[in-house]
Amino acid sequence: MSLPGNAMDSLSAALKCNIIPNQEYLLQGSVLDQYVEVLLHRLRGLCDNVDSGPESFHDHEICFSLRIPNTAASTPMPMSIFSLRVRRALDVSDTPYQLRYIGQQELGDKNRPTVVRSSIDMACSSTILEFLTELGCRIEFEYIARGYMFRKGRMKITVSKIFKMGGNKPESVEPISQSYLVELSVLAPSGQDAIGEDMRIFAEQLRPLVQLEKIDYKRLGNIM
């Protein structure tokens, strides 16, 4: 057995070699409830997991944020905000919780086919909720997502219904709209822009059932 390396050194080495999948390439769209079956049918035909059928999921996601006032006068934002998301499966017990950091979307080039944003995704123990609260985070919002996941190569396609939290009972949840959210995403190390082109081609194949687009969050007025 060789000498165990320092964890931080191996992380820096991994960063240098650019092997950490820390960029998310994303396209989003939506489909009305009455047409979702048609879309699912189309996806079943196009995606890899044909035999096993689509994988269903039922997740609860909570978004936390850390905020501190910005003291430097030069910065345009009055607050520094750091968001973290925690996701857990409601339909499968004993799976680890997922902790996720999503960075600001890169402005980049207008011709780039997808949104690119930094993303750090990891499994964690169930103590994460208490840990984040103690860390000084507060809950921004939470929701329940239920739907199907498909794969095509390294692309991931999710079709999910988003529900508002209705008190403490999971049965009393209420859908937020009469449509499904459709997301096409890939997690990859930075600089692999070719994947954006593959995603654009795949998105083309889903038209006109669903129009997957680069969503500009700033235009939606969200504080990211």
Partner 1 sequence: MGVTILTQFALENKTGPQTVEVLSKRICALGAVQQGHFLVDCETYTSVPQLGHQRTVHVLHNSEQPATVFSLLDNGTKITALATDGLFDLLMMKMSQFYTSKKQTKAESKGLRYEIGDFYVKLGTVTVSSNYKGILVEVEYRPCVVPAMCWDLLKEFLQGFLGLTAPTNPPTYLQNRMQEVYTPIDTIHQYLEHFTMFRKSPGIYRN
Residue from 22, 105, 160, 179 binding partner 1 (CB under 8 A): 22
Q: Is 11 in the site for partner 1 (CB under 8 A)?
A: yes
* Identity of the residue, 124 or 181, whose beta carbon is nearer to partner 1 in the bound complex: 124
Q: How far is the CB of 128 from partner 1 (least distance, A)?
A: 6
Q: Which is nearer to partner 1, 49 or 98 (CB)?
A: 98
Q: Using an 8 Å Cβ cutoff, are 194 and 155 in contact?
A: no
Pairing of strands 179-188, 23-32: antiparallel
Q: Which stretch binds partner 1 (CB under 8 A): 28-36, 104-112, 124-132, 181-189?
A: 124-132
The yes or no reply on residue 136 touching partner 1 (CB under 8 A) is yes
CA 80/CA 86 separation, integer angstroms: 20
E strands, 153-218, are: 155-164, 174-175, 179-188
188 close to 22: Cβ distance less than 8 angstroms: no
φ/ψ of residue 211, rounded to 5: -105, 105
Among 120, 149, 181, 187, binds partner 1 (CB under 8 A): 120
Contact status: 8 vs partner 1 (CB under 8 A)? yes
Long-range contacts of 118-122 (CB under 8 A, 24+ apart): 118/22, 118/23, 118/24, 118/190, 119/22, 119/23, 119/24, 119/187, 120/22, 121/21, 121/187, 122/98
Closest distance between partner 1 and the C-beta of residue 24, in Å? 14
CB of 216 to partner 1, least distance (A): 23
Both structure tokens of 41:
């049918």
Residues 74-103: x where in contact with partner 1 by CB under 8 A, - otherwise, as a string: ------x-x----------------x-x-x
Does residue 174 contact residue 166 with C-beta atoms inside 8 Å?
Answer: yes
Q: Does 127 bind partner 1 (CB under 8 A)?
A: yes
The correct pick among 19, 32, 68, 224 for binding partner 1 (CB under 8 A) is: 68
H-type alpha helices, the chain: 7-16, 36-46, 128-135, 194-206
Number of residues that bind partner 1 (CB under 8 A): 34
3-class SS of residue 7:
helix
Least distance (Å) between residue 11 CB and partner 1: 5
35 binds partner 1 (CB under 8 A): no
Contact positions vs partner 1 (CB under 8 A): 1-8, 11, 15, 20, 22, 66, 68-69, 71, 80, 82, 99, 101, 103, 120-125, 127-128, 130-131, 134-136
